[in-house]
Structures are given as C-alpha cells and as structure tokens.
A and B are shown apart, each in its own frame.
Chain A
Amino acid sequence: MIFDWNVVTYAAPLLAHGVVMTLQVSAVAAVLALMIGIAAGLASLSSSRVLRGVIRVYVEFVRGTPLLIQIFLVFFALPVLGVRFSEFWAGVVALAFNAGAYIAEVVRGTVGAVEKGQSEAAMSIGMTRHGALIWVLLPQAWRPMIPALTNDLITLTKNSSLLSVISVYELTRAGQAIIATHFAPFEIYLLLALYYWALISALAWASRRIERALPQW
C-alpha cells in the first residue's frame, strides 16, 4: 500500500475544525461533570439517607449501562418526554452525566479518606457534618483528587468521539466525512489517533502543572 501524503495535507486543516468542536464539547461537559461530580460526591458523604440513596442509584445506573446507550437516551428518548436538546447539548449532557458519576466516586473516596480527627475537630468547634465536609475535608482533598480526576476528564474527552453517532461534527465525525469522500481510512484514522493523542497529552501536562501548583502541607 502507498501512504497518501496528499490526503493528509488536505485533511489536516479540515480536521482542525473537528478539534475545535471536540474541545468545546469536552470543555463544557467537563465543567458540568465536575459540578455534578463534586456535588454528588459530597452528597454521598452527607448524613441524609435519602440523598445518599439517590446518588447510589445514579452512580450504579451510569456504571451499569454503556455510554452509547446513555447518549441515545438523551438524544432520542428524552425528546419523547418533551425534553429536546440540539446535537451539541445532547452530547454535553450525556458526557457530563456519565463522567459526573465517576467523579462523584473519586470525590467520595478522597474526601472520605481525610483523617477522622479532622471532622471531629470541625465538629468540636460547632460545625455540622455538612460544614465539616465543605470547610475542612474538601479543601484537603483537592490535591490527592487531581490524578484520578485527570483520568476521568481524559476518558470524557476520548468518549466525545462517540458523539459522532448523533452527528456532532467533532473530530471523529470530521474524519469520517473525509473518509467517505476520499476513501483513505488508513491515513485519516491514523491522523485522528494522533490528534486525540496530542489533545490528551496536553490535558495530562496541564493536570501535572495544576497538581504541582496546589499547596502541600
């Protein structure tokens, strides 16, 4: 076989559009996922049995079903109930809903692992369990949380390629469109892999920087 450099030079700038969309959908989903995940993680450590139960069901559902089905549920099933999203927002919601559950487990694990004496000290100065979680335990958990959070955000970014099936014009979809017209699957898929790899590497680098910048004691 002959490696077709022409199609590569043709595709590279076109794929850049896809990169921008991948970044956009992943970034918005990541912010939403972090908000959902931190809130749900803290809720699963709260003293409310009902709240803990709700979060349990949420996490079990996300872990127990394929992301592709979750995407279809948001994009095809919710409209039946009258909740309609554009492709972009359906993608964002599905990715955030999915990653939020994994992040909740990370938050529950790291915040819950802060030494017991810390919550006792917080209670001894009159804090409720919720106050202790927010003002004493969570701030101590940020740094140990970063590596696992990074994993989840990397997974989220890679998972965004699945949004090609609901025609979000992100990196994978952009690649498939070129393949359809030029029939160069080898070159294009290789190029896609390189693009994703570069994106993820940048993310991992940023995460290490953040981890180092966070205070240690």
Chain B
Amino acid sequence: MNLLEARGITKRFGARTVLDGVDLLVRERETVVIIGASGSGKTTLLRCLNRLETPDAGSTRIADVTLGQRSDGRAADERELARQRTLFGFVFQRFNLFPHLTALRNVALGPRRVLGVTPREAERRAAVELTRLGLADHLHKRPSQLSGGQQQRVAIARALAMDPRVMLFDEPTSALDPELVQEVLDAMRQLASEGMTMVVVTHEMRFARHAADRVLFMADGRIVEEGPPAGLFSAPRDARLQRFLRHLEPAS
C-alpha cells in the first residue's frame, strides 16, 4: 500500500522542462533516496511534492488526500492547501530556521499558529521533539548560537512537531561542514528506523547505501533507474548512472 503517490509530475521553468512526467510511489515506513547530478530535477521534484512549487502537470496523493484538491474534488483554496501541506515535513538545505526565535520557539511556532494548540502545549511538544534529537541543552538558544548540525536538527524537529506522514529532505547535509554531517545523518537514520516514511535528496552515497530501502537515480528531469541500493550501486545499468557513480568514486 502506497502512502505517497505522485504521478506525471511535470515542471517547466520558461522553455526548460525540469521535470518530465515523474512518477514516485512510496510505501509507508519506506526510505527512498534520490540521487543525481545537480540540475537533474531532484530538488524541484521534492518541492513539487508538497507544493512549495506548483507543478505544471501531475498529481500528488498522500494518505487519501490529493494535494490542491478538496475531498469533493473541487480545487482547494490557499488555506486548505496550506493545511494539506502539513502532511509533509520539509527539511531545507540551508535550514531556513527563523533567526529571531529560539530553538524552542522555532519548533513550537507551527503547532501554536497552525494547529492552534495552547502556547504551553506547543512548547511542551517542541521540547519533546528537540530532546529526541539530542538538543535538550539548546532549547533557549537562537539559531545563530548553534552549529550548522544543531541548526539542521532543530529544523528536523520543527518539521516533526507538525506530525507529518512523510518527511522530505532536500540535501540536508550539503551546507554543513564535513565534521557536522554525521550527526544529521545519524538523526535521519534514527528517524527511519523508528518507521518514518522519508524521501531524501542527497549526495551522501554512504547514507544512500546504508539507510535507503530504495534508491532512485534522476537525470534530465526523469527517474532513469531505481532499485535497492545494493543492486543499483554494484551493477548500474544506465550509462549516465555509471558515469555519475564513477565521478563520485575518488571522493568516497
């Protein structure tokens, strides 16, 4: 049973087709990792899933909800779409934490202002999520007082506090200093092992190898190869994937 079904996702920027009818099916509790050269459409696909970007064609269904559509089939208004978007948690490459708020307030803001729970309950929930991510000592620090790895974990907690069904990660470690990458990957791996459904765009091949149930390789706005990491990495069929992996070898 698929929790997430995106079909025919197409996105053009001007004359350039960035996504060309992409299908993406994700089962509950599955961790799907998307790899590919920059410009292949990975990030745009992720952003089309939760409608940060409006696709030109295609539909996304998540847990019986079709994004942008009400249950009676009519077009959802902005408020309804915003609410549907909370079915996804989104983690940005550059964290995008709210700089004027403490870690606790960053995480509590969504529950407080979107779900409308009391300030007390919102902060309690935020403290639980932050503690789960090992940030119990940093609740009252502003983002500028935290390391990149800590900031990204706050961002993960912020997404989790909305109780999403699927977590989307957009190159979550690309903006981090090398020594801070592992703590974020560890947090993600723990999340996966707890049964969270995740779609991860990343250049961390070790994470793809060890944490992914399935790896998708994108090129030119399409998914050109997919499979369990063992097979895909050891016996790539598509020439572009072979080239992509060869280029990575010296680094890893």
Contact = CB atoms under 8 A, between A and B. Distances in A.
B44 to A, nearest CB: 13
A128 B78 contact: yes
B51 to A, nearest CB: 9
Given A118-B96, A120-B96, A217-B144, A126 B158 contact: no
Interface stretch (B55-63, B67-75, B85-93, B231-239): B85-93
A211 to B, nearest CB: 15
B113 A127 contact: yes
Contacts of B138: none
A63 interface: no
Interface stretch (A53-61, A133-141, A153-161): A133-141
Q: Which of B52, B86, B96, B159 has the most CB of A within 10 A?
A: B96
B78 A124 contact: no
B85 A217 contact: no
A210 interface: no
A206 to B, nearest CB: 23
Nearest to A116: B96
A123 B162 CA distance: 12
A124 B85 contact: yes
Interface residues of B, number: 30
B100 A215 contact: yes
A82 interface: no
Interface residues of A, number: 20
Given A117-B96, A217-B142, A126 B52 contact: no
B110 interface: yes
A135 to B, nearest CB: 5
A147 interface: no
B92 A117 contact: yes
Contacts of A122: 98
B159 A125 contact: yes
Contact of A125 (B94, B99, B162): B162
Interface string B164-206: 0000000000000000000000000000000000000000000
A120 B92 contact: yes
Nearest to A115: B96
A107 B39 CA distance: 36
26 contacts: A117-B96, A121-B96, A122-B98, A123-B52, A123-B85, A124-B90, A124-B92, A124-B159, A125-B86, A125-B109, A125-B110, A125-B114, A125-B161, A126-B86, A127-B110, A127-B113, A128-B79, A128-B82, A131-B114, A135-B109, A135-B113, A136-B109, A140-B99, A215-B100, A217-B142, A217-B144
Interface of A: 47, 117-118, 120-129, 131, 135-136, 139-140, 215, 217
Given A117-B96, A121-B97, A217-B142, 12 more contacts: A121-B96, A123-B82, A125-B86, A125-B109, A125-B159, A126-B85, A126-B114, A136-B98, A136-B109, A140-B98, A217-B99, A217-B144
Q: Across chains A and B, which 8 residue pairs bring their CB atoms closest together, nearest first?
A: A125-B110, A126-B86, A121-B96, A124-B90, A117-B96, A126-B114, A217-B99, A128-B82
